[in-house]
């Protein structure tokens, strides 16, 4: 049986400026006053103005994003004090978000989202100079994320300590979504306090927070993509050659690293290359900066390729499962194409649910920007980049999933980055758009959400399982929406998400001066959601997983030098996480009907239902005896005489 692999979404571009050009009347919200929010600038990023007003370029929004808050040589004493205060507020917000992530993952001690977590951890340990492992028949997981966490294993060889350290790294990096979202909101025209509020709520989204509790690329991917989108925007709008080169190289580094981290990065690179060619031909940026970005991208692609080849040779005694082969074979017939379309509908269903419908507003606005020819070309490029990354990811990445895992096609992991990005413009629309504009967005979203929900119900069933760990991990958001951690009803989950969005729309349309209430409500819903997810998924299943992994080491008295041989009949859910905790030597595999390997000290075999532990290995050589068992996981460990 082959392990289900991980691979997920590429984060779409911040939805940056996606509001611009949605309608010329956007300029009317400029001086709308919200209780607790003082919005003095028109919501027209990058200097757009209404037809009746002269265009006054917003030079601040064209600065490189790194200097958005701090340009020491240009501040008066008062402005310097303000800038320093906001720097401290952003650091404080980042620390609060990192602390929340660390606290929610405090009880976890072993990898549970397997084979993904184990593959990344074993790869990181190998890159840190540790021993090899055997992940035969699994998917080859890229080396970018293991490269990031590898230093952990320079300082510890204990699997539990190492795992905790990796989750701390995840928390620190994942929390960067908050200051990055703040920069995005500022570029979209929000004043500092509204921008801070939207950024903080964005960082609380399950798509931005939940996966930081696992040794997975999803923990850092939204941050990578959001930073890439901001850097790409800086490249398109830089006012100096130096700034253009800096942003070009930065955006290329981030795009290249996204590909090193996950196969979704191929979509980012493809879309980024198209934008590069376009701006080169149209001379929208200095052509030398395009060449610099291309060189950086090629350099990182070469490093990523060599790294993956090395990991493939060392960690996979049998060939790794080919994702591209699975995807291409599926597209060779009409039935396969239909399956891919169904998968894409499932991805877009979760895209809506995971952000309580707000990201769907951002996506609608992005499409509207594409249709608005009066919008400056750089804004349309950003909008097109965001939409393209989202749709291509929704179609291409899940196409590599096994055909017997239909329900996983609708999991939300592959578009978590894009949903986080599009939440930002969606939230700004709720804060600043007119009643007509908001209702127009809702009119598009409601039928789209209903259709995607019906498609998921058609191929995955009217309900999706939310227990045990695997289904709960994949369908945590529907479980929260339905408050059913056994079997979540697809139609009910869709209806509750739509109802939440409708409540937000009702508040901003009926109580326009109380729009800040919407942000408070979204923050509360997200915080409750991630707390429940941590309790019902991460914490609930940790004890059993710890018994099945650490329990083998402690129960069998395993220590450095002991060689573990695993029966080829043992299910991968048992032996793959054990490949991490048995960290001194790779697991060996043997047929249970044949003698164990000559160098084996411990043999692990499946425990047949209804049989005694001693009956689990009828052909055991004389003297071998049972030393550890796990009836829940279904394995028995034997030790040599």
Q: Which of 90, 119, 160 is nearest to 5 (CA)?
A: 119
Per-residue pLDDT of 310-327, as tens digits, reads 998 898 866 656 566 566
For residues 526 and 612, state if they share a domain.
no
pTM recorded for the entire structure = 0.86
Report residue 175 as tokens: 């929390």
The residue out of 481, 508, 540 marking a domain boundary is 540
Structural domain harbouring 535: 24-540
| pLDDT exceeds cutoff 50 at 166 | yes
Residues 6+ away with beta carbon under 8 Å from 240: none
For residues 499 and 395, state if they share a domain.
yes
Q: Which of 67, 377, 14, 61 is nearest to 242 (CA)?
A: 67
Residue 7 lies in a domain: no
For residues 575 and 531, state if they share a domain.
no
Residue 333 lies in a domain: yes
How many residues are there in the chain? 641
For residues 592 and 460, state if they share a domain.
no
Residue 335: its pLDDT value, please?
72
What is the 8-class DSSP label of residue 630? E
The residue out of 540, 569, 589 marking a domain boundary is 540
The strand pair at 564-567 and 463-465 is best described as unpaired
Q: Are 390 and 347 in contact (CB under 8 A)?
A: no
Residue 325 lies in a domain: yes
Residue 78 lies in a domain: yes
Q: What backbone phi and psi angles, to 5 degrees, belong to 130?
A: -80, -175
For residues 58 and 85, state if they share a domain.
yes
Residue 407: its pLDDT value, please?
54
For residues 148 and 250, state if they share a domain.
yes
- When mean pLDDT is compared across 37-41, 151-155, 479-483, 547-551, the lowest value belongs to 37-41
More confident: 37 or 50: 37
Residue 241 lies in a domain: yes
| pLDDT exceeds cutoff 50 at 121 | yes
Residue 533 lies in a domain: yes
Quick one: pLDDT band at residue 73, thresholds 50, 70, 90?
A: very low
| pLDDT exceeds cutoff 80 at 249 | yes
For residues 579 and 472, state if they share a domain.
no
User: How many structural domains compose the chain?
Assistant: 2
Average pLDDT, the chain: 85
| pLDDT exceeds cutoff 80 at 56 | no
- When mean pLDDT is compared across 128-142, 294-308, 488-502, 605-619, the lowest value belongs to 128-142
For residues 432 and 529, state if they share a domain.
yes
CA dist 443 and 459 (Å) reads: 26
Q: What single string gives the DSSP state of each residue in 309-359?
A: HHHHHHH-SSPPBPHHHHHHHHTTSHHHHHHHHHHHHHHHHHHHHTTTTHH
For residues 430 and 516, state if they share a domain.
yes
Residue 32 lies in a domain: yes
| pLDDT exceeds cutoff 60 at 112 | yes
For residues 301 and 253, state if they share a domain.
yes
For residues 536 and 561, state if they share a domain.
no
Residue 291 lies in a domain: yes
The residue out of 505, 540, 575 marking a domain boundary is 540
CA dist 362 and 428 (Å) reads: 9
For residues 420 and 469, state if they share a domain.
yes
Per-residue pLDDT of 478-521, as tens digits, reads 999 999 999 999 999 999 999 999 999 999 999 988 899 999 99
Quick one: pLDDT band at residue 71, thresholds 50, 70, 90?
A: very low
Instruction: Report percent pLDDT > 70 for the chain.
Output: 83
Q: Are 358 and 371 in contact (CB under 8 A)?
A: no
CA dist 262 and 348 (Å) reads: 20
């Amino acid at each position: 049986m082959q392990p289900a692999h991980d691979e997920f979404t590429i984060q779409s571009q911040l939805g940056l400026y996606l509001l611009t050009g949605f309608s010329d009347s956007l300029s009317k919200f400029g001086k709308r006053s919200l209780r607790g929010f003082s919005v003095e600038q028109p919501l027209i990023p990058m200097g757009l103005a209404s037809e009746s007003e002269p265009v006054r370029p917003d030079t601040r929004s064209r600065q490189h994003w790194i200097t958005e808050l701090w340009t020491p040589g240009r501040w008066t004493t008062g402005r310097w004090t303000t800038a320093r205060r906001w720097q401290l507020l952003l650091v404080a917000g980042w620390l609060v978000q990192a602390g929340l992530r660390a606290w929610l993952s405090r009880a976890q001690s072993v990898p549970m989202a397997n084979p993904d977590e184990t593959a990344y951890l074993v790869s990181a340990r190998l890159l840190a100079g540790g021993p090899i492992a055997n992940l035969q028949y699994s998917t080859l997981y890229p080396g970018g994320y293991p490269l990031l966490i590898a230093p952990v294993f320079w300082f510890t060889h204990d699997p539990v300590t190492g795992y905790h350290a990796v989750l701390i790294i995840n928390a620190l990096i994942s929390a960067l979504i908050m200051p990055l979202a703040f920069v995005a909101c500022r570029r979209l025209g929000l004043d500092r306090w509204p921008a801070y509020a939207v950024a903080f709520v964005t960082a609380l989204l399950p798509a931005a927070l939940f996966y930081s509790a696992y040794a997975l690329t999803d923990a850092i991917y939204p941050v990578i993509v959001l930073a890439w989108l901001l850097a790409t925007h800086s490249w398109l709008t830089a006012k100096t050659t130096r700034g253009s080169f800096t942003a070009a190289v930065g955006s290329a580094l981030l795009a290249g690293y996204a590909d090193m981290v996950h196969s979704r990065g191929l979509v980012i690179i493809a879309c980024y290359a198209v934008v590069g060619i376009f701006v080169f031909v149209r001379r929208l940026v200095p052509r030398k900066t395009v060449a610099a970005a291309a060189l950086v991208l090629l350099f990182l692609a070469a490093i990523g390729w060599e790294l993956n080849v090395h990991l493939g040779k060392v960690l996979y005694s049998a060939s790794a499962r080919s994702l591209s082969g699975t995807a291409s074979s599926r597209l060779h017939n009409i039935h396969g194409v239909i399956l891919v379309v169904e998968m894409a509908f499932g991805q877009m269903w979760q895209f809506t649910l995971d952000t309580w419908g707000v990201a769907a507003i951002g996506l609608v606005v992005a499409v509207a920007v594409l249709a608005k020819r009066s919008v400056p070309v750089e804004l349309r490029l950003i909008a097109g980049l965001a939409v393209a990354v989202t749709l291509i990811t929704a179609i291409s990445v899940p196409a590599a999933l096994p055909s017997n895992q239909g329900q996983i096609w609708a999991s939300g992991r592959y578009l978590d980055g894009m949903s986080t990005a599009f939440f930002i413009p969606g939230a700004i629309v709720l804060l600043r758009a007119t009643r007509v504009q908001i209702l127009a967005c809702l009119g598009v979203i409601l039928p789209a959400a209903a259709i995607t929900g019906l498609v998921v119900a058609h191929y995955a069933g009217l309900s999706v399982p939310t227990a045990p760990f695997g289904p709960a991990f994949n369908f945590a958001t529907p479980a929260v929406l339905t408050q059913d951690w056994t079997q979540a009803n697809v139609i009910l989950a869709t209806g509750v998400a739509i109802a939440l969005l409708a409540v937000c729309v009702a508040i901003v349309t009926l109580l326009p001066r109380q729009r800040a209430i919407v942000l408070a409500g979204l923050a509360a819903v997200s915080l409750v959601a991630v707390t429940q997810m941590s309790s019902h998924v991460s914490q609930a299943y940790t004890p059993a997983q710890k018994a099945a992994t650490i329990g083998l080491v402690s129960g069998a008295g395993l220590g450095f030098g002991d060689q573990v041989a695993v029966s080829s009949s043992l299910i991968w859910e048992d032996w793959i996480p054990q490949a991490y905790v048995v960290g001194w030597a790779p697991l060996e595999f043997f047929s249970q009907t044949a003698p164990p390997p000559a160098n084996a000290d411990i043999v692990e075999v499946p425990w047949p239902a209804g049989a005694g532990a001693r009956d689990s290995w009828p052909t055991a050589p004389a003297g071998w005896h049972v030393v550890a068992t796990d009836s829940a996981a279904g394995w028995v460990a034997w030790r040599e005489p």
